[in-house]
Every structure is written in structure tokens, then in C-alpha cells.
Structure 1
């Protein structure tokens, strides 16, 4: 079998992704003294996971993270659907200007707005709450753009037929456009959940207590120990944090790839 340039590049990228994960798995299921050396006869243990779970309130962190990603995705889908439908099918003054402003927002890095977002949330006393983490992300320019492009591919005849049957604009949206855009919703949902599950900087800045911290911020407790860094426990904690995303991808990888292909995401 002759490897092409594309297949060689794919293999290299796969190795870059797999090797750190393989090391994390190795370190997590072996005693600490084997984190820096590979021995086939090294004993297996789950003690690192037990120690990691006891060192931090992971149950609370998982609950906070689940609430956070669910809240953000729900708002993004509702607001994005309404905005995308208006931009794709409704005629109103300033539509093109509004869409241009949304596209301009895609060019602004979220980190550039951190200071002003923090000051705004501090004024309304929302610091150290889960809504404080979610508010800057409840409207997504990327989601609006993606759904608008999908809605524009829906045949106008379906829209007209539904209106002839007496459907209101909202009914047309919910019964014609939303079902046909299901692959796009799946693709965007996967992107949104993955991004906000792994987001670290903004949650770190606006949370101070266990009651509002997500998993990514909770992991920092393992790197601030006075007794030094225990890589075995860190790897175990990291695997517990990333396990839901990894398991979800392995279970739904076919739907994941198909939805991205149908949605036209490169």
C-alpha cells in the first residue's frame, strides 16, 4: 500500500491527537512511579481515579458544567433560529446591515471582550454565578450564520404551500424549516457543547466558589498542591473530565460526521 501525502498527513495528525491521550490513560491506570517510564509488567490500579474524585467535588463540577452547556445551547438554538429565519426569509429594512454586523462579530475574538463583559456583569451582581459564565455566549454569530445559510437552501415553494394552508410564520418555521435543518442543529450542537465544556479562561475569571465552577476550572486544584504535582492523579482527573465528550463522540461519530457533511461545515 502506497501512502499518499494526504494519508500521511492524516496519520501524523492522528498520532498527535492520540499520543497525549494514550499517555494520560497509561498514567491514570498505573502507580505514580510509572508515569515517566513504560513497563509492560507495571501493575494496574484505579486508585488514581479514587484519589482524584476525593480531592475535588467532581459531582458538583459535573452538575455545574451540564447546567452551563445546556443553558447556553438552549438559548443559542432559540435565538439563532429566530434570527436566522428573519434574515433568510423575512423582508425588513436594515436586514443586510444586521447580517453584516453579525458577520463582523465573527471576526472579534471573545477574549478581546473579557474586560468589558466582566465589568458589565459586576454592575448587575452576577459574578460567581453560572449565568455569569453563560451570558456572553447565549447569542452565537456563528450559529445564526450557519442556520441562515441552511434556511436559504429550503425551497421557497414549501414556505408558500404552508402559508396557503393557513400556517403562521412561526408555524412555518417550526414545521418546515426546523425539521429540514436537523443535521445543522446536530452539527452546531456538538460544536457548542464541546467548546463550552472545555472553556477555561472566562469561567476562571468570573467564578470564585465551588457552587459555580465548571469542570475545567475545578481541575486547577490538582496543579496547585503544596506537595508537588502528581501526574497520575492529574491524568485521572483529566480523563474523568473529558470522558463524557469522548464517549459521546465514539457513540455518535457516524451522526457527527454525517451532520457536518450535510451542514457544509469545513
Structure 2
């Protein structure tokens, strides 16, 4: 790589970083300063938490956060269980139609979820689950990407470990739980962050399938600030946005190294 190539790549990285950082910096600035400082940067401007107080009082965020926590936790647990069982079957067992079934799993990755909204809504309506947290979670309790990712990891486990466990009298589920799952912990961490991030930020499907405060997640609750009659208060909106996205940012900063290393181990580029 020549010096010019490095300069070009560094410049591109800096430009992309600024494109990502500047909106976040603006949101942080306006959220922690009075509304009169929304459009101007002044050194020594007073800091305030008033915008966060207004945002918290403008909507039942405690309920929204509880709904979101229940939603993402339930989805991740179901995905871990179902994707693990499917991945183990595809990685270690030979049965008729295995390759065809796995191709169908990969085909699911090519289908945009928005295409299935109408049919999913009809199914949820037929089950009588409209306006429930279960209605939001049901279409996502299994994941083709999760099956693929965990299968790739399980295929790297030496078969000698299976044989050693069988000699000790372990059954298939015991082998899966005691041998495969512990070796795949970094992958579960990476996939868990991806899944939580996606379902924490999901907006369209929860908006369509919920009607009440008791079932709405935090992303749908955040939309109340775009329909207020009192005018747009960007400082309050940005404070609410930071409250909504803050947990994800903190989680990624805490686990970013494990997140990147996990995908590298799985061979995902």
C-alpha cells in the first residue's frame, strides 16, 4: 500500500467519522443546554438536565422502557434456544433434505421483513394477539442469520470432542450444552448485541401492531414528540432520543472488542 493510498483511506475514514459524529454531537449539545442554545455554540453555556426532565414527563418512558426490555429479552432468549438447536442439527447431523432446508434458511435472509407485514398482521389478528408485546415478538422468535452464524461456529468444533463426551455417557443435548455452547459464547455475545440493537430500534412493525401505552416499546413512544401541538422543541426531542439510544451506545462501547472479535472468529466479513 502506497503512501497516497493510506492518505486517501485515512481521509475517507475521517470524513465518515465526522458524518456519524456531528449529528450525535449536536444532539448531545442541545440536550444538555437550554433551548436558546439550539442553533449556536457558545463556550461556557450553562448545562442543564431540564430537557431530560421535560422529555421524561412528556411520555410514560418508564412503561416504554419496561416493554422494550421485556420485548428484546424475550426475543433474544427464544432466538438463542431455537437457533442453537437448528444450528446444531445442521452442523452435526446428516438427514434427507438437510442442504435444501439450510438453503431455505439462507433464502430467508434475502427477504425484507417489511414485505411480510400484511401477512404477519393477518396472522397476528387471527391469533387474537394484536396490541400485545407477544405480537411484536412473534415474527422474530427465530432468525435465519442466527442459525447461519451459530452453525458456522459449531462446524469449527472438532468432532473428537463429541466422541469423548459420548464415551463419558453424554447425550446429544448434554453435548450441545456442555461442549458446543461454551465454545460459542463470544458468538452469542456478538449476535445478542445485533439482535438487541435491531429490536430495540425497530419502529414500523411495533407501530402497526400496537395501539396502547401498555404495549408500545420506546421507539414508538418516542414518536409522540413529532406530533405535539406545542411546536418542535429540538432540545427536548434530542434529550428523549439520547435516553432511547443511550443504553445501546453504552452496551456497544462496553463490548465492542468482543463484538468485533466474535465476527472475525466466525469468518464473517
Instruction: Please tell me the TM-score bracket, short chain as reference.
Output: over 0.9
Q: Give distance in 2, aligned partners of 1:216 and 1:231.
A: 17
Preserved contact between residue 67 and residue 216 of structure 2 (Cα < 8 Å): yes
Residue equivalent to 2:257: 254
Alignment equivalent of 2:175, drawn from 162, 169, 172: 172
Runs (4 or more) in structure 1 with deviation over 4 Å come to none
Correspondence list, 1:62-211, <5 A: 62-211=65-214
Q: CA deviation at 1:175?
A: 1.0
Residue equivalent to 2:228: 225
Q: CA deviation at 1:130?
A: 0.4
Give 5+ residue unaligned stretches, structure 1. none
2:201 aligned with 1:213: no
The superposition leaves residues 144-168 of structure 1 with CA deviations (integer Å, 9 ceiling, x where unpaired) of 0111111111111111111122110
Alignment equivalent of 1:37, drawn from 40, 61, 70: 40
Q: Give distance in 1, aligned partners of 2:267 and 2:10.
A: 22
Preserved contact between residue 183 and residue 263 of structure 1 (Cα < 8 Å): no
Q: Secondary structure at the match of 2:105?
A: helix
Q: TM-score, normalised by structure 2?
A: 0.95
Query: Which range moves more in the overlay, 243-252 or 120-129?
Result: 243-252
Alignment: residue pair count: 266
Give 5+ residue unaligned stretches, structure 2. none
